[in-house]
Amino acid sequence: MEIIENRGSSPDSRIVERAVEALRNGKVIIYPTDTLYALGCDALNARAIEKLCRIKGINPEKNVLSIVCSDLSQAASYARIDNRIYRLLKTYLPGPFTFILPASTSLPKVFKGRKSVGIRIPDCEMARAIAREMDGPILSSSVALDCEDETVNPLTLALEYEGFSDIELTIDSGNGSTIPSTIIDCTKNGNPELIRQGAGVFDE
């Protein structure tokens, strides 16, 4: 597994391009968000999604799958967003939230038959830059070691996952949080419901 360090205040364009290359080749990456580090793959590549779910040990038919988007315009291509929800998302995003929204038909067959998708627009320039350069969403699943520390070192994560050949690279942007995003379900008659309290403070 390749480990690339990006410690500047803004994403290195060469690192973004390297991450996008890996994603377009159907590989999985470990990359920073505004909460936990995450496993990511091309959300429009069904085989890549299968790889990520196998690595994470989750069943895509039983778990809500979340995608990281560069902005609300990109998110609107993959989730149904009415005016009320748009105003809600604009208030809280970018930020440490996952909003569960009605899924559109633009997602691959692994999403077919599923009525919802988690949408993330993290307050992390690297994550958004990758999605922007990809011109498409990143299927994302948070990774964190089973520990009581307040931060997690990405090099430790890389070691934890070094046995998985489908993970091509880790982007080291310094220590990450161990507090996940706050999850808000917006699929029930448009009334937002707090599902999990995480890093984000939701007041609606």
| pLDDT score, position 155 | 93
Which domains are seen in the chain, by residue range? 2-196 (3.90.870.10)
| Residues 83-142: tens digit of each pLDDT | 999 999 999 999 999 999 998 888 777 776 678 899 999 999 999 999 999 999 999 999
| Residues 37-80: tens digit of each pLDDT | 999 999 999 899 999 999 999 887 777 889 999 999 999 999 99
| pLDDT score, position 146 | 67
User: What one-character-per-residue DSSP string does 116-170 give?
Assistant: EEEEE--S-HHHHHHHHHHTS-EEEEEE--SS--SEE-HHHHHHHTTT-TTEEEE
Averaged pLDDT, 137-148 = 83
| Residues 158-184: tens digit of each pLDDT | 999 999 999 999 999 999 999 999 999
pTM of the model: 0.94
Residue 190 pLDDT level (bands cut at 50, 70, 90): low
Rounded to the nearest 5 degrees, what angle is found at the Cα of 87, between the Cα atoms of 81 and 88?
85
Q: At 139, list the tokens.
A: 């299927």
| The pLDDT of residue 20 is above 80 | yes
**Residues 154, 32 contacting (CB under 8 angstroms):** yes
Task: For residue 141, list its beta bridge partners.
Answer: 39
